[in-house]
Structure formats: structure tokens, C-alpha cells
Amino acid sequence: MSRFFAVIVAGMWSVFSALGQTPPANPASVAASAVNSLGVDLLHQTGRIGGNTLLSPYSIQTALAMTYAGADGATRDEMARVLHLQTEAMQVANHFSALQRSLNEVVQRSVQAVEERKKYGGTNDAITLDVASRLFGQQGYDFRPAFLEALKTKYNAPLEPLDFRKNAGGATKTINDWVAQQTHQRIVGLIPAGALDALTRLVLVNALYFKAPWEHPFSASATKNLPFWTGKTREVVPMMSVQKSFGYVKESGATVVSLPYRGGELQFLIILPDDTNGLAKVEAGLTAEQLAKWANAPARDVKLTLPKFKIEPPTMPLGEALQMMGMTNAFDIPPRSANFDLMAPRRPNDYLYISRVFHKTFISVDEKGTEAAAATAVAMAARSAMMRPPQAVEVNVDHPFIFAIQHRASGACLFLGHEVNPRLTYL
């Protein structure tokens, strides 16, 4: 008999490769580097240049880092290499815990600022950034107490017992309902029907919800229907316009602009290729180091035109992409190679391996700000056997571009994707 576990992940973050490098002193930046590195790798693996793409590197990396806490031996080493993690699981957990605290502090400062503005008649909304993790495990299964305690204390991911053996469908509904609640109903049906069965033993889930107003909102009256070039064709879409001081960098082959959200600690990063058909080339050259560098770009007066858009893709299976990147033992390829002995005792005829990794996202960008959500689930089964210039620079985002929602202090990308056609919501 074989049993498995699943990992569900939402969101995107940058990844740090510790091999041969001296890690940054700031633990949150170490986690952020790993998040962004994994995000870029997955964008290269899964991004369809002919369609819109959206990932949450932060959600994905968090769910997989929780899974990594239970890995041992060659499986652990392989996961560390692919996920750009340091090999000591508790150190990894401390880094991700530090990053989460840093994000929580951003939200707390935003709420405090709104309360202060209310004293003077202000009505601005605070930033909402809800991150939740949970383990859904087979009741009565022999999970190691040290593993459960580490995930509860470091990732705030308590265990909720379910009965996959007798009611896998009911367990799936419980998990999907929990994800929908955590993401304000933006991520519905994360785990497809039939994906979990009586052999499922554990599902590790991370859910992320983000909603923030712009520091400098676009005026709805300035939005006009203008052309957006999608390859050789042209679509007419609602284009927003604003002229303010934004982060600005002119790179070889692309222009980078960063739009701050309320408070300036989180931002929307735009990477616009110079060539209308240059998305594939710019994306192929994108690195985690570039994302970190652009987190604090110098300010410049920018006259920006940006399309309104929404992306709501279906659930994305990430298992094949992770295997293509070299993470095979965790999926028990070849047979009997998976080693999650730190998660539950590994016996010759009863051991855990990753069966599925599911990821689902949502984003909406308009004049007021951005709303985004993501969820990631890892299912595990058991198997037997500068100076500002006087004149504003114009940036017209009228063709395919890369974007990210980024935490400036660490450089971590909560979301990463590309927009090819603002009229396409699901591709």
C-alpha cells in the first residue's frame, strides 16, 4: 500500500542560493533571496509567453519550506539545492519566521497610520496582508512530534486531523473551504476533485491574501481606452495614467518602474521590455539578483500609463516543473528514494513522499490599488514499498510586461508574473 502527502502553495518569493556564497546578515533577506530565486526558476519553467502568468513565490516557497522541515538524507540535499535553501532546516525556519515578522510589522504600521489619519478626518484604507499556514493530517498517523512542534512554532502551522482513509472527498472540501476563507473567497477550489484519496496522509497548505491602495492613486477620470500591443495584434483596453515620483531604472533592453503602495514599504514593480515583442528575451534573463537590486530604485518623476488588468488562472500543478528543476527524490523518483523520516518514521513498506503540489492565484489591478491572493498545497502520500531631472520621463506600458508585488526592505516578491493581454483573465 502507498500513502502520499500533498503540498498546496500560493504566491511567489525570491530564492537565495547559499552554495558558495556568504548569506546576508539579515535573516529575512536570506529567506527573501530564496523566495525570489525559486520564483524566477518557476517563472522560467511555467510561464507561457503567449498567455498571462501569475505565481506567488512567497506562498510556494513557504509551503515547500514547511515540507523541507521533514526531509532527510539525499531528499533533503536535493530539495535544498532546488529551493535555494540552506541545509539546516531549523535555520531555514528561523529565516522564514523573520521574514513573516517583517511583513506583519508592515501591516501593523499601516493600521497605525490609518488610525492616526482618522483623527484628522482621513479615510484611507490600511494594507491587508493575511498569511496563514496549516497542516491537514490523517488522524492517528504517526507524525513525529518534533516536526509538528517546529511547524507550529516557526511557521504558525498547527495540525488539523482529518480522515482521508474514510472520507477523502470530505477532507478535500474542508481544506478548500479553509483556503477560501483565508483568501477572502478569492481562491476557491484549490484542490481538484479526486486529487486526494484514501492513501493521502498529509496536506501542507499556505494561503496568502493581499489588498493595498496605491500611495498615489490613479484618477478614474484619466483612464481611457487605448491600444495595447499583443505581439502582432492590437487590443483596445482601459489604460490608467498618473504622473508622480516613482522608482525608475533604465536597463539594457528594459525599463523598470516601481509604484509604492500606501506607506511605501510594499510596491508594484513593472519590468517593461523596450521591444514590443521582447518579453521572452527579458524574462529569460531575469534573475533574483536583479529583483533585489530593483527593490530600492532611485526616484524620478514619471508620467506612467498602465493597463487595468485581472488574472485568475485555474489551479496549477507544480510537481512536473519541480521535477524538471531536479527535485525528484521527494516525489519518490526513482521508487523508494523519498526520505521524509523527520516528518514520520520511514519504514521499508510504509513511507511518505510528495504526490502533488497545487498552486492557485488571483490578482486585480485598478485605479485604487491591487488585490491579490494565492494558495499552495503540498500533498503527501504514503507508499508501501539619483537627482531628479526637471522633466518627467514617459513610460507607456502598452505591450507585454513582467510585474511583481515586492517587499522593499527584503526584496521578497509576494507575487510574480507577466501580463500579455489585459483582456485575458484566465490565461
Same domain, 191 and 322: yes
Same domain, 16 and 124: yes
- For residue 7, is pLDDT > 70? no
The model's pTM is 0.90
User: Could you tell me which residues are beta bridge partners of residue 273?
Assistant: 254
User: Do the domain assignments include residue 425?
Assistant: no
What is the structure's pLDDT at 23? 42
For residues 315-341, average pLDDT: 95
Same domain, 290 and 163: no
- For residue 60, is pLDDT > 90? yes
Please state whether the peptide bond connecting residue 334 to the residue before it is cis, i.e. omega within 30 degrees of 0.
yes
User: Do the domain assignments include residue 200?
Assistant: yes
Q: Are 256 and 292 in contact (CB under 8 A)?
A: no
Which residue, among 175, 170, 164, has the nearest Cα to 201 in the 3D structure?
164
- For residue 83, is pLDDT > 50? yes
DSSP category for residue 127: P
User: Do the domain assignments include residue 427?
Assistant: no
For residues 362-391, average pLDDT: 84
User: Do the domain assignments include residue 424?
Assistant: no
For residues 214-223, average pLDDT: 94
Same domain, 113 and 10: yes
The answer for residues whose C-beta is within 8 angstroms of residue 26's C-beta and 6 or more apart is: 98, 410
pLDDT > 70: percent of the chain: 91
- Please report which confidence band the pLDDT of residue 386 belongs to, taking 50, 70 and 90 as the band edges: very low
What is the structure's pLDDT at 342? 96
Same domain, 395 and 292: yes
Residue 183's alpha-carbon distances to 152, 166, 279, 360, in angstroms, are 20, 28, 30, 11
Integer-rounded Cα radius of gyration of the chain: 21
- For residue 316, is pLDDT > 90? yes
Mean pLDDT across the chain: 89
For residues 360-371, average pLDDT: 95
- Please report which confidence band the pLDDT of residue 284 belongs to, taking 50, 70 and 90 as the band edges: very high
- Please report which confidence band the pLDDT of residue 348 belongs to, taking 50, 70 and 90 as the band edges: confident
Question: Which of these ranges, 160-164, 258-262, 328-332, 388-392, has the smallest mean pLDDT?
Answer: 388-392
Q: Are 418 and 42 in contact (CB under 8 A)?
A: no
Which residue, among 17, 131, 8, has the nearest Cα to 80 in the 3D structure?
17
Q: Are 329 and 338 in contact (CB under 8 A)?
A: yes
- Please report which confidence band the pLDDT of residue 124 belongs to, taking 50, 70 and 90 as the band edges: low
pLDDT > 90: percent of the chain: 81
What is the structure's pLDDT at 426? 56
Same domain, 409 and 364: no
- For residue 417, is pLDDT > 70? yes
Same domain, 163 and 290: no
For CA atoms 288, 338, 326, 311, give the dihedral sign.
Answer: negative
Same domain, 108 and 183: yes
Q: In the chain, helix, strand, coil percent, each to 5?
A: 30, 35, 35
Task: Tell me how many domains the chain contains.
Answer: 2
Same domain, 8 and 132: yes
Which residue, among 395, 99, 129, has the nearest Cα to 262 in the 3D structure?
129
For residues 415-427, average pLDDT: 84
Same domain, 90 and 143: yes
What is the structure's pLDDT at 425? 76
Amino acid at 415: F
Residue 189 belongs to domain with CATH number: 3.30.497.10
User: Do the domain assignments include residue 8?
Assistant: yes
What is the structure's pLDDT at 113? 85
The answer for residues whose C-beta is within 8 angstroms of residue 392's C-beta and 6 or more apart is: 243, 300, 301, 302, 303
User: Do the domain assignments include residue 426?
Assistant: no
Same domain, 277 and 150: no
User: Do the domain assignments include residue 40?
Assistant: yes
Which residue, among 225, 278, 228, 280, has the nearest Cα to 255 in the 3D structure?
278
Residue showing cell 501580463: 419
Domain, as residue range, for 156: 3-212+310-383
User: Could you tell me which residues are beta bridge partners of residue 57?
Assistant: 12
Q: Are 415 and 302 in contact (CB under 8 A)?
A: no
For residues 62-81, average pLDDT: 96
Same domain, 352 and 259: no
Q: Are 317 and 6 in contact (CB under 8 A)?
A: no
User: Do the domain assignments include residue 314?
Assistant: yes
Which residue, among 92, 51, 68, has the nearest Cα to 9 in the 3D structure?
68
